[in-house]
Amino acid sequence: MAFDALFQPIEIGKLTIRNRVVSTAHAEVHATDGGMTTERYVRYYEEKAKGGCGLSICGGSSVVSIDSPQGWWSSVNLTTDRIIPHFQNLADAVHQHGGKIMIQITHMGRRSRWDGFDWSTLLSPSGIREPVHRSTCKTIEEEDIWRIVGDFAQAARRAKEGGLDGVELSAVHQHLIDQFWSPRVNKREDEWGGSFENRMRFGMEVLKAVRAEVGDDFVVGMRICGDEFHPDGLSHDDMKQIAAYYDATGQVDFFGVIGSGCDTHNSLANVIPNMSYPPEPFLHLAAGIKEVVGVPVIHAQNIKDPNQASRILEGGYVDLVGMTRAHIADPHLIAKIKMGQVDQIKQCVGANYCIDRQYQGLDVLCIQNAATSREYMGLPHIIEKSDGAKRKVVVVGGGPGGMEAARVAAERGHDVTLFEAAEALGGQITIAAQAPQRDQIAGITRWYQLELARLKVDLRLGTRADEATLLDLRPDIVVLATGGHPFLSQHPQWGYSESPEESLVVSTWDVLNGKVAPGKNVLIYDTICEFSGLSAADYLADKGAKVEIVTDDIKPGAAVGGTTFPTYYRSLYEKEVIMTSDLMLHKVYREGDGLVAVLENEYTGALEERVVDQVVVENGVRPDEALYYALKAQSRNKGQVDLEALYAIQPQPSLSEVGDGFLLFRLGDCTAPRNTHAAIYDALRICKDF
């Protein structure tokens, strides 16, 4: 039977998990209200259980002690008994759907920030600063150690009393337990440092205290790393020794294994591998741990596809697969496998919008699934068919917003036509996918293509919709998602012209689309600092151009998230792309065969020049509004979106008003330039009530 390996139940300790698929611990940034799990938190995990996920481990970096700050990432607060009733809600919600739920508990040691909330004195075995969070810390004292050991035990008790199925002790990502393990951070010469046994001692005391508190009928696991990838850190062999050492106690019920440490920006990118990584890049490390332990091993890192997951399990590399981002993209992943709807699974593309928001302390959201973590607001993962009349819905624009609008309207049972001027769906996603290492972003489009075909949406590709064509269709609703165009005309001195022969600058779109040939010596001016500038730089360098990317911001790619800018940087530095900050593009002029770009220092006003043969400007998107204004006056609702209803996830009032003519809504970049998620979210919340 296909996917049989996924659906073998497994015992972890005394707990039966219904299948081999786990949503592993990640910071949700939802547990607000002082770290008490909220309705939002509960619904998010309930949805996974409803969708068939076997085990969810919630609460990445949930804290056990008050000096491990909870507030930065709104993680779960296990330092107080107040959490227990909240856990009961969470446990009930997951259990009623047959799922199991555990929580990761930890003390983050030095891996946090001290400059807020209680202004904690962060702790670390030897007081060495952590670079990612720029956090300094105190060298931990013996009294602190015993206090924290006791806090772990109390936190585990709270999880158990709250009805959760287990706890996962975090000894990964350079939290306190593995700060003690790693000689890179632990320079102590007392009984808590130095020798192997001494470095193991803190974690062992935590494990013993927790197990003594919760007894045998509660799962206690450990999440560890497979190799810190630092010459002075823990190697894979060290980690095998550590895993075997703890396993020998018989007190650990499972190990979760993650490849790579993460106390630098570069190693952090490994932990949540983005789309530039191959599938399951660190499986071998988890398999190495499995060799030396006798309990189930969970591994999550770039396992997104049910076939891939089955292959990993069939190969016996690990016992359970973590498909965490896969569940963020589609919490009904398992149900769809079982329904024989594998093609309908919205597959994670590794855009890492989720984790990159999390590292900024923002709630975890999915770039392509606007319902995820908004279940509590009533945003549906499965769109119900409308009870009302069948409407004629015309969508203009086949980018993410338009595709989502067409999908949702078709799921509602309406007759949907979608116009797209280009020959293929995708909009700006298609452009983004042209860059090296970014091709997988096209997976977003691929899913919509399959869904729109399944839903029998009438696709008019290569057709630019005009007013007459639209009105000929006698639509009940028109959704405009026409996007925009690169905004190169903002500063006349840049020399942009609509005539390609005369224009002194080109856009990143032109470059990535192949509309202009790559230059040999290129200056990219990127004031936006998101993906497009770095992608254009990587693309041009890949084609052999000499590239300098200049920004007036603090660094090129400043707005690209923490797990993705490192992979760009690896590629750009390797290709000798020059990255320059603090310079504005003042002017471009032609001189002989070449172009001169005049740059102005943001802080001194000093001018400098670059002589190049191509100037690429990334200055964001200007909305395409012409069609909107052509239709606005004729529409029943004058193109207006009711914001109160929109934000409250209520039906647009105009939908229930009777009258002649059509309703007009616009969304995505043609309203105001934002991102993929914003366009999809607008589309879902407007169209779900059609």
Query: Would you tell me which residues interact with other proteins (CB under 8 A)?
Result: 1-3, 7-9, 16-19, 49-52, 96-99, 334-335, 338-340, 387
Paired tokens of 345:
């699974």
**Complex with other proteins: residue 102 or 631, whichever CB lies closer:** 102
At its nearest, how many Å lie between other proteins and the CB of residue 85?
20
Query: H-helix or E-strand containing 20?
Result: none
Long-range contacts of 566-571, Cβ-Cβ distance < 8 Å, separation of 24 or more:
566/265, 566/266, 566/268, 566/269, 567/269, 567/274, 567/276, 567/277, 567/437, 568/534, 568/535, 568/538, 569/266, 570/266, 571/276, 571/436, 571/437, 571/538, 571/541
Q: What's the longest Cα–Cα distance across the chain?
A: 83
d(CA 147, CA 149): 6
**Complex with other proteins: residue 51 or 483, whichever CB lies closer:** 51
Helix axis angle for 236-247 and 283-292, nearest 10°, is 40
- Please state whether beta strands 55-63 and 100-106 pair in parallel, antiparallel, or not at all (unpaired): parallel
**Complex with other proteins: residue 203 or 306, whichever CB lies closer:** 306
**Complex with other proteins: residue 3 or 180, whichever CB lies closer:** 3
At its nearest, how many Å lie between other proteins and the CB of residue 93?
11
With contact defined as beta carbons under 8 Å apart, do 354 and 324 qualify? no
**Complex with other proteins: residue 4 or 237, whichever CB lies closer:** 4
Rg (CA), the chain: 27
d(CA 406, CA 452): 7
Which amino acid, residue 544?
G
**Complex with other proteins: residue 2 or 630, whichever CB lies closer:** 2
d(CA 624, CA 641): 18
**Complex with other proteins: residue 53 or 405, whichever CB lies closer:** 53
At its nearest, how many Å lie between other proteins and the CB of residue 6?
10
At its nearest, how many Å lie between other proteins and the CB of residue 275?
29
At its nearest, how many Å lie between other proteins and the CB of residue 101?
12
Burial class for 249, CB neighbours closer than 10 Å (0-12, 13-18, 19+): exposed
At its nearest, how many Å lie between other proteins and the CB of residue 88?
17
At its nearest, how many Å lie between other proteins and the CB of residue 451?
17
At its nearest, how many Å lie between other proteins and the CB of residue 315?
18
Question: Could you report how far apart the first and last alpha carbons of the chain are, in Å?
Answer: 40
**Complex with other proteins: residue 67 or 330, whichever CB lies closer:** 330
**Complex with other proteins: residue 165 or 618, whichever CB lies closer:** 165
With CA atoms as reference, report the closest residue to 548 among 516, 583, 514.
583
Coarse DSSP helix, strand, coil percentages of the chain, rounded to the nearest 5 percent: 35, 20, 45
Burial class for 108, CB neighbours closer than 10 Å (0-12, 13-18, 19+): buried
C-alpha distances in angstroms, 626 versus 81, 304, 322?
58, 40, 47
Paired tokens of 296:
């189930």
**Complex with other proteins: residue 96 or 490, whichever CB lies closer:** 96
**Complex with other proteins: residue 145 or 337, whichever CB lies closer:** 337
At its nearest, how many Å lie between other proteins and the CB of residue 5?
11
